[in-house]
Amino acid sequence: MTPSLAAKLRSGATVITGWNIWPEPLLAEIAARSGFDAVTMDMQHGLHDPVSVMRAIGACHLGGKPAAVRVPVGDNGMVSRALDMGAEAVIAPMVNSAAEAEAFVQAAKYPPAGERSWGPLRGQTVFGLDTDAHLKMANKDTLALAMVETKRGIEALDEILAVKGLDGIFVGPSDLSVTITGGDRVAPGDPLVDEPVRIIARKTKAAGKLLGAFTWAASRAQFFADLGYQFIALGTDQAYFQAGIQKMLSDRGEEKPVT
């Protein structure tokens, strides 16, 4: 197994992940081969189902990059399944309390840290590890990241960070802006989210946990990276497709084939 996503992040590296919302493994593989350090399959707002996630994880490995999965809200069954399929990180959206974070960790970690049931039938093949090695690797080398993206989540942050086995916090700036404005605006890049983003960074680092966030622009990714966010999602495959079309329509360069 190549150095895990967890090992890279713990060594201090910044990891930029593509965000795959279209349930098509080929797109995940192309994202993996096109410069991203990892690819995340989104089952919350993205269109993935368990089968497409399973196929996309294999496609990411074919492209030489680790795969992460964002599960639907509160779907801890899918947390275990995504890990069983070979995901190196699972992201749980809308975690608003220590109890929710605790239930998430229970599904993501084998005993003694949690209560994950044994059966990584696909993951073992993806990682190429025997049973003992897989069991030893799993709790340390797969990450459970809880999204803090609401006022309630921020209020509960200290208790969420105290949950043993939780590896990190992943920030959703769109939901942060919606909750902060009381449902008035979706404004992920607005300065109004900067203060909570800074508070989350300070507290999470003090707790010795990892930081991740979603962004729509490389400049915003740099803002997060400067604050210590290391696992940074940039755009979605829908946005990559739209940006590619716009670039091709306006490109005045020489003709060359693209494969």
Catalytic (active-site) positions? 45
- Shortest distance (Å) from residue 107 CB to Mg ion: 20
Q: By C-beta, is 52 or 179 nearer to ligand 3PY?
A: 179
CB neighbours of 126 closer than 8 A, spacing ≥ 6? 57, 58, 61, 85, 86
With beta carbons less than 8 A apart as the criterion, state whether 215 and 233 touch.
yes
Interface residues for ligand 3PY in 77-96 (CB under 6 A)? 93
Token pair of 41, please?
């399959």
- Shortest distance (Å) from residue 60 CB to ligand 3PY: 18
Query: Interface mask (CB under 5 A) for Mg ion, residues 141-180, using x and -?
Result: --------x----------------------x--x-----
- Binding of ligand 3PY by 188 (CB under 6 A): yes
Q: By C-beta, is 110 or 231 nearer to Mg ion?
A: 231
With beta carbons less than 8 A apart as the criterion, state whether 209 and 193 touch.
no
* φ, ψ dihedrals at 20, nearest 5°: -100, 105
**What is the CA 211 to chain-centroid distance, rounded?**
10
The CA distance from 231 to 9, in Å, is 7
- Binding of ligand 3PY by 229 (CB under 6 A): no
If 0-12 CB within 10 Å is exposed, 13-18 middle and 19+ buried, where does residue 78 land? buried
Count of Cβ atoms closer than 10 Å to residue 7 Cβ: 14
- Shortest distance (Å) from residue 172 CB to ligand 3PY: 3
Q: By C-beta, is 124 or 189 nearer to ligand 3PY?
A: 189
The Cβ-side half-sphere exposure at 258, using a 13 Å CA radius, reads 6
Choose from ligand 3PY, Mg ion, none: what does 238 bind? Cβ within 5-8 Å by kind.
none
The CA distance from 22 to 2, in Å, is 27
Q: By C-beta, is 63 or 172 nearer to Mg ion?
A: 172
- Shortest distance (Å) from residue 4 CB to ligand 3PY: 23
- Shortest distance (Å) from residue 79 CB to ligand 3PY: 16
With beta carbons less than 8 A apart as the criterion, state whether 143 and 90 touch.
yes
- Binding of ligand 3PY by 149 (CB under 6 A): yes
With CB under 6 A as the contact rule, the residue among 214, 224, 229, 231 that binds ligand 3PY is 214
With beta carbons less than 8 A apart as the criterion, state whether 50 and 78 touch.
yes
With CB under 6 A as the contact rule, the residue among 174, 197, 205, 207 that binds ligand 3PY is 174
Q: By C-beta, is 214 or 229 nearer to ligand 3PY?
A: 214
Task: Please give the residue ranges that form the binding site for ligand 3PY (CB under 6 A).
Answer: 93, 149, 172-175, 188, 214
